[in-house]
Amino acid sequence: MNKIELDFEAKQKWYQNTRGTKNPTGIVSVVHAMLESKKIWWWSWEFVGKKTSKGYWLSHRAPARASDLAIFYPNIVECRKIGKFAIYRLRIENSRAISEFLKNNT
């Protein structure tokens, strides 16, 4: 079998194995991605395609979830603007609040 067909079969297997799973891109997944990284500031587009420790890839919805976190949980995620773009930072100095958030939302 040629390389094209092998690659196509691999995509089919991936689709069949992931079909029916819920979309993991939620606010908890974004916090986990930020915790697992050594980054301090995140451009909103840097969340897209980020892999979490649970093996999930964050979708195109991750920037919106980061924005939600900054709005509804400002003690956990900080947002600043650079021109028209937003950047986000996990407030690791509030580790107790982050732990409580993760405990209450998982």
Higher pLDDT pick, 78 / 6: 78
Q: Angle at the Cα of 47 (from 45 to 42), degrees rounded to 5?
A: 75
User: For residue 9, what pLDDT is reported?
Assistant: 87
pTM: 0.73
Average pLDDT, the chain: 86
Average pLDDT over residues 47-58: 81
Q: Tell me the pLDDT tens digit for each residue of 9-51.
A: 888 877 666 554 454 568 888 999 999 988 999 999 999 988 8
Domain membership flag for residue 17: no
Domain membership flag for residue 18: no
Q: What is the CA radius of gyration of the chain?
A: 17
Domain membership flag for residue 11: no
Reply yes or no on whether the pLDDT at 66 is more than 60: yes
Q: How far apart are CA 44 and CA 29, in angstroms?
A: 14
Domain membership flag for residue 80: yes
User: Based on the structure, what is the number of domains in the chain?
Assistant: 1
Instruction: Specify the CATH number for the domain of residue 61.
Output: 1.10.10
Domain membership flag for residue 98: yes
User: For residue 20, what pLDDT is reported?
Assistant: 47
Range of the domain at 37: 23-105
Domain membership flag for residue 50: yes
DSSP state letters, 76-106: TEEEEEETTEEEEEE-GGGHHHHHHHHHHH-
Domain membership flag for residue 3: no
